[in-house]
């Protein structure tokens, strides 16, 4: 093996993959399971409105732009990691409301990308400010570092359209009730598929609810 190829291979071996490290938290089975989710750091951006609308897409773009900027700065400093998949928290007007029964124009969302625990807020701020100077949209300034603490949760894999999640959510609620638990937190989606590249009927999404 030549020197440059060997170095590149070693770099890949040492790149941190958060989903591999925390695989017990990302169980993707076609039936409900209980998982214990430890506190984790995320890049986050929050908004309201229909998924796929202009504001939503702008938020997704801003989040990924900052995520890759932070990642590259760390890589250049000698500590590399894989940019995680997009995740999202969804909720309606009230804490106990079912947002699926409300108009999409009023849905609240917080889009998330998990980052290593050693990423600091100042890195996110610096990355956003640098991106703004380079002409990126001002939405990059809305990306912040947050900690999500969900604890005990129920989750399962949903395959298909986002519009068809209601059945899976009912299964999660029934499973929680059978274990003398109830939902206690926001609807959490983990997007394993890119909807720009995968047919709607094959989209894979982990659905999660914290329980108590």
CATH number of 27-210: 3.20.80.10
pLDDT of residue 98: 79
Which residue, among 80, 58, 60, has the nearest Cα to 71 in the 3D structure?
A: 80
Is pLDDT above 90 for 94?
A: no
| Least reliable range by pLDDT among 12-26, 77-91, 101-115 | 12-26
Q: What would the two tokens of residue 206 be?
A: 């982990």
| Least reliable range by pLDDT among 3-7, 108-112, 149-153 | 3-7
Q: What is the pLDDT of residues 165-174, one digit of tens each?
A: 999 999 999 9
**pLDDT average, residue stretch 145-152:** 98
Q: Kindly state the helix (H) or strand (E) to which residue 187 belongs, with its residue range.
A: strand 187-191
pTM metric for this prediction: 0.90
Round to whole Å and give the CA distance between 104 and 34. Answer: 29
Q: What is the pLDDT of residues 15-25, one digit of tens each?
A: 999 999 999 99
The band of 96, judged by pLDDT with boundaries at 50, 70 and 90, is low
Round to whole Å and give the CA distance between 165 and 207. Answer: 9
Give me the residues paired with residue 156 across strands. 207
The sign of the torsion formed by the CA atoms of 78, 62, 205, 156 equals: positive
Name the maximum alpha-carbon separation found in the chain: 60
Q: What would the two tokens of residue 192 be?
A: 């394993």
Give the residue extent of every domain in the chain.
27-210
Q: Is 186 exposed, middle or buried (0-12, 13-18, 19+ CB in 10 A)?
A: buried
* Helices 121-133, 54-76: crossing angle, 10 deg rounding: 110
């Amino acid at each position: 093996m030549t020197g440059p190829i060997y170095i590149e291979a070693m770099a890949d071996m040492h790149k941190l993959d958060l989903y591999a490290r925390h695989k017990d938290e990302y169980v993707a089975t076609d039936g409900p399971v209980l998982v214990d989710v430890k506190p984790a750091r995320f890049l986050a951006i929050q908004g309201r409105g229909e998924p796929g609308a202009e504001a939503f897409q702008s938020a997704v773009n801003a989040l990924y732009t900052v995520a890759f900027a932070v990642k590259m700065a760390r890589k250049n400093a000698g500590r590399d990691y894989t940019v995680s998949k997009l995740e999202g928290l969804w909720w309606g007007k009230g804490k106990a409301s079912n947002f699926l029964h409300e108009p999409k124009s009023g849905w609240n969302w917080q889009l998330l990308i998990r980052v290593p625990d050693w990423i600091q807020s100042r890195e996110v701020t610096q990355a956003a400010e640098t991106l703004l100077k380079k002409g990126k949209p001002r939405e990059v300034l809305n990306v912040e570092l947050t900690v999500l603490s969900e604890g005990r949760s129920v989750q399962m894999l949903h395959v298909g359209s986002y519009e068809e999640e209601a059945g899976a959510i009912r299964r999660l609620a029934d499973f929680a009730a059978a274990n003398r638990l109830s939902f206690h937190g926001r609807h959490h989606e983990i997007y394993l598929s890119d909807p720009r590249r995968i047919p709607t009927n094959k989209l894979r999404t982990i659905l999660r609810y914290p329980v108590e």
